[in-house]
């Protein structure tokens, strides 16, 4: 695949290295001279000095044969324009944008950006999962399928502690995929009992999340 | 007309003053307090400090019942993003966006955005002033 990345900060740099090591053709665009010099020492031909929102630059690096354009600058507006230009002007099939402000997710989606990745939201989820006492955490969202992966810690006073899965009123759009108990893992079936202090991993649709919370008797 | 302007640089300030004098209700946003000094002392509109691609500040400026929105910061991409937020999220009827880069301007014109490129306009006016002719359009 030919992948063009806009923004030579840490994310762009590590992404480039990682994709190159997987055998893809990668072109990193960095507009700052000093940063470019540092990058080109290690990345050589894989980095070009230029602004990924400038059509001329994108033409020079062959944007119309790119399979993916990824915008990872530190500014949401630059990432937006890079992706829109790539799609509209160069017919790039897939555009991925980094979103620094999670509130901008809606406008990016409305304007046809295929995928947005919000570091803030990801970090938030990871930290929440580490906080003591949290019972319900969204680990990851599978955007294309509209599903979420949830981690639920069953508190001792939970109404479902001691019940088998078949007796709990789980929503149809949800699935308990895995239970971790005392460092052992269990792939549950209908007869599996849920015990207090279990870590339950569930796959559920966005709308099913509330129904699942009710069924498991947990609030955040 | 109720209008929200993003960017109180020279153009933004002049525009705000003109609209205010013409009797319109103006709210102008800039991220620096200093910028508002460019406004006419008799400016009767509202000034807000903030980042114009943040929906909250646009709402505080009254974008929900604005008739028009103008993006005139010195950053093309900021103007482009703010204009699209005004148009797509808040459904403002009249949205005008300043884009210096002529190529970006043509792409966004195709996407249906009302744009003005001072680069092109300025060059055209200079051409006319120098040669007495209008410049030919590119084929």
pLDDT the model gives residue A220: 43
Q: How many CB pairs under 8 A join A and B?
A: 53
- What does residue A138 show for φ and ψ, rounded to 5 degrees? -85, 115
**Of the candidate ranges A137-146, B10-19, B121-130, the one whose mean pLDDT is the lowest:** A137-146
Measured CA to CA, the distance from residue A20 to residue B33 in angstroms comes to 46
Q: A 88-147 residues with CB below 8 A of B?
A: 88-89, 101, 103-104, 106-107, 110-111
* B48-105 pLDDT, tens digit each: 999 888 889 999 999 999 999 999 999 999 999 999 999 999 999 999 999 999 999 9
Contact B104 A76 (CB under 8 A): no
Architecture of the domain whose range is B2-131: 3-Layer(aba) Sandwich (3.40)
Query: DSSP readout, A95-134?
Result: EEEE-SSGGGHHHHHHTT-SEEE-HHHHHHHHHHHHSTT-
The verdict on a CB contact (< 8 Å) between B88 and A107 is yes
pTM: 0.80
Query: So what CATH class is A122-216?
Result: alpha beta
- B135: tokens are 């410049």
Percent of chain B scoring above 90 in pLDDT = 88
The torsion angles phi and psi of A143, rounded to 5 degrees, stand at: -60, -45
Q: What is the β-pairing status of strands A68-71 and A2-6? A: parallel
Q: How far apart are CA A41 and CA A45, in angstroms?
A: 9
Structure confidence by residue, pLDDT tens digits, A176-220: 899 999 889 999 988 888 898 888 999 888 777 777 777 776 544
Q: How far is CA B72 from CA A199, A206, B79, B123, in A?
A: 53, 39, 6, 19
What SS3 class is residue A148?
Answer: strand
User: Of residues A36 and B135, which shows the higher confidence score?
Assistant: A36
User: Which sequence spans correspond to the domains of chain A?
Assistant: 2-117, 122-216
pLDDT tens digits along A79-136 = 999 999 999 999 999 999 999 888 898 899 888 898 888 888 788 777 877 776 667 7
Contact B104 A77 (CB under 8 A): no
Block residue for tokens 């002719």: B133
CB contact under 8 A, B80 and A111: no
Which of A84, A86, A112, A113 has the highest number of chain B CBs within 10 A, making it the mutation to test binding with B?
Answer: A84
Domain range summary for chain B, segments of one domain joined by +: 2-131
Which residues lie closer than 8 Å to B43 by C-beta, 6 or more apart?
A: B16, B17, B20, B26
Rounded mean pLDDT, B1-13: 96
pLDDT averaged over every residue in chain A? 88
A53 vs B104: CB contact, 8 Å cut-off?
Answer: yes
What CATH number does the domain located at A2-117 have? Answer: 3.40.50.720
């Amino acid at each position: 695949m030919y992948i063009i990345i806009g923004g030579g900060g840490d994310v762009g740099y590590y992404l480039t290295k990682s994709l190159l090591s997987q055998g893809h053709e990668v072109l990193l665009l960095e507009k700052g001279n000093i940063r470019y010099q540092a990058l080109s020492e290690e990345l050589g031909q894989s980095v070009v000095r230029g602004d990924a929102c400038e059509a001329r630059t994108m033409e020079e690096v062959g944007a119309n044969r790119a399979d993916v354009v990824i915008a990872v600058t530190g500014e949401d507006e630059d990432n937006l324009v890079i992706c829109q230009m790539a799609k509209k002007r160069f017919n790039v099939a897939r555009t991925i944008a980094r979103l620094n402000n999670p509130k901008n997710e809606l406008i990016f989606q409305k304007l046809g950006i295929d995928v947005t990745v919000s570091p803030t939201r990801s970090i938030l989820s990871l930290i929440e999962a580490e906080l003591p006492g949290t019972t319900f955490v969204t680990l990851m969202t599978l955007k294309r399928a509209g599903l979420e992966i949830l981690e639920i810690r069953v508190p001792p006073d939970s109404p479902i502690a001691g019940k088998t899965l078949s007796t709990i009123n789980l929503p149809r759009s949800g699935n308990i995929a895995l239970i971790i108990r005392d460092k052992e893992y269990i792939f549950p079936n209908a007869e599996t009992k849920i015990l207090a202090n279990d870590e339950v991993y569930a796959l559920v649709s966005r709308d099913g999340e509330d129904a699942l919370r009710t069924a498991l008797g947990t609030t955040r | 007309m109720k209008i929200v302007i993003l960017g109180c640089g020279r153009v933004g300030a002049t525009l705000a003053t003109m609209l205010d004098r013409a009797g319109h209700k103006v709210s102008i946003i800039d991220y620096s307090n200093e910028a508002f000094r460019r406004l006419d002392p008799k400016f009767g509109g509202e000034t807000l400090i903030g980042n114009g691609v943040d929906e909250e500040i646009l709402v505080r400026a009254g974008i929900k019942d604005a008739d028009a929105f103008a993006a005139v910061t010195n950053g093309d991409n900021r103007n482009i993003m703010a204009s699209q937020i005004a148009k797509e999220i808040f459904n403002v009827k009249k949205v005008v966006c300043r884009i210096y880069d002529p190529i970006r301007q043509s792409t966004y014109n195709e996407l249906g955005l009302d744009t003005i490129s001072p680069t092109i306009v300025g060059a055209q006016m200079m051409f006319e002033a120098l040669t007495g002719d209008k410049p030919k359009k590119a084929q």
